[in-house]
Amino acid sequence: MIIQSKEIEQRAIEHVADLMCVAARTAPKGRGIDNLVVMTVKGRTKDQLVEEMKKIAQVSGAQFFERDAKCLEKTQLAVLLGQKVKPMGVQPCGYCGYANCKENTEESGMCAISVGDLGIALGSAVSVAAQHHVDNRIMFSIGRAALNLDIFEEDVKIAYGIPLSVSGKSPFFDRA
């Protein structure tokens, strides 16, 4: 039996994506509260993200959405990490810019500790990709498109995407 390169690479990239999701889940969380939502997308769902990113670029004029959409098109899949941003009740804090968690909630603010948890999870996830030599890049634009399309079924307020690629040249290098 012969297993060709494309099949090997697809299986490997899916395995690495799974490991990235595990690393994100087990990353430290403020007060031990886990408000992280993780998933992988490929195929039709990934294509919908690409189209939404292009639409955002056209409507907003933010051309980096178009650039990032072109990168995502070249990849096999993406890992999405989203955060249900809820005040953590740490006193005293004020990192969110409000006097306390009650004021933050009343003003629909974002808890800085909760947002920080997402950043730690992203770092844990991409470290796994790097350890396995899988090309990747954290992209705000993919997360924004995912939120626009309501891909997260839960109350996620902030998200990022990490497209993954196994190819002879990283699509995330020399982006124009």
pLDDT digits (tens, 9 = 90+) for 30-66: 999 999 999 999 999 999 999 999 999 999 999 999 9
As a whole number, mean pLDDT of residues 156-172 equals 95
Q: What is the pLDDT of residue 170?
A: 93
pLDDT over 70 percentage in the chain: 99
Query: Per the structure block, which two tokens stand in for 100?
Result: 């306390």
The CATH number of the domain covering residues in 5-165? 3.40.109.10
Is 175 a residue whose pLDDT tops 70? no
Do 83 and 123 contact (CB within 8 A), yes or no?
no
Q: Where are the alpha helices (DSSP H) in 27-139?
A: 43-60, 64-73, 101-106, 112-131
Residue 5: its H or E element: helix 5-26
- Give residue 133's identity as a one-letter amino acid code: H
